[in-house]
C-alpha cells in the first residue's frame, strides 16, 4: 500500500532535520566568511595602519575580533565531525521519506532512520540533540504507526 498524502508529522520531521543540518553547517560557513573578511580588511587597511603608526596612533580591528570572539570557538576545529553529522541527518531524512512512501514495506529504512538521527545527535553535541529530539521522537513513534498519521483515531 502506497501513501499519497503528506501528513503534518512528515512535514515537521523534514523541517526538523533541515534545521539540524543548518545548525551544523552554518556556523563554520559564517566563521570562514568572517576570517576571509578580516584578512581582506587587514590588507586594505595596511597602508593606513602604517601611516597612522608613523603619526603615533594605534589602530586595530577590534570590532571584527569581538564579533568573531563571540561565536562558538571550536566550530572550525572538527569539520569531519560536523560533515559526518550532517551526512547522517541527510541519510536519516531520506530513510524517513522512503519509509513514509511505503508504510508497511520499508521496515529497514524505518528502523535505520532513528539510528542515524541518534548517531548525528551524538556527533553534533548537546545543542543539536535538543533540536533533533522532536524528530527522533517522531521517528520512534513511526515504528509503531508506520503511516505517520498520528492525529487520526483509527488504529
Q: Domain ranges in the chain?
A: 12-148
The C-alpha cell 522532536 sits at 134
The C-alpha cell 550532517 sits at 86
Give the model confidence (pLDDT) of 92-134 as tens digits.
Answer: 999 998 888 887 778 888 899 999 999 999 998 898 999 999 9
Local structure of 120: helix, strand or coil: helix
Give the model confidence (pLDDT) of 24-34 as tens digits.
Answer: 888 888 888 87
Query: pTM of this prediction?
Result: 0.74
Amino acid at each position: 500500500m502506497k501513501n499519497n498524502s503528506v501528513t503534518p508529522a512528515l512535514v515537521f520531521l523534514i523541517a526538523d532535520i533541515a534545521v539540524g543540518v543548518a545548525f551544523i553547517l552554518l556556523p563554520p560557513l559564517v566563521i570562514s566568511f568572517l576570517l576571509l573578511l578580516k584578512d581582506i580588511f587587514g590588507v586594505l587597511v595596511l597602508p593606513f595602519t602604517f601611516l597612522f603608526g608613523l603619526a603615533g596612533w594605534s589602530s586595530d580591528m577590534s570590532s571584527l575580533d569581538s564579533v568573531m570572539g563571540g561565536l562558538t570557538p571550536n566550530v572550525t576545529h572538527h569539520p569531519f565531525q560536523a560533515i559526518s553529522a550532517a551526512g547522517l541527518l541527510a541519510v536519516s531524512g531520506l530513510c524517513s521519506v522512503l519509509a513514509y512512501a511505503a508504510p508497511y514495506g520499508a521496515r529497514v529504512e524505518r528502523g535505520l532512520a532513528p539510528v542515524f538521527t541518534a548517531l548525528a545527535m551524538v556527533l553534533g553535541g548537546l545543542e543539536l540533540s535538543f533540536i533533533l529530539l522532536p524528530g527522533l521522537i517522531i521517528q520512534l513513534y513511526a515504528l509503531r504507526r508506520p503511516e505517520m498519521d498520528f492525529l487520526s483515531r483509527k488504529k
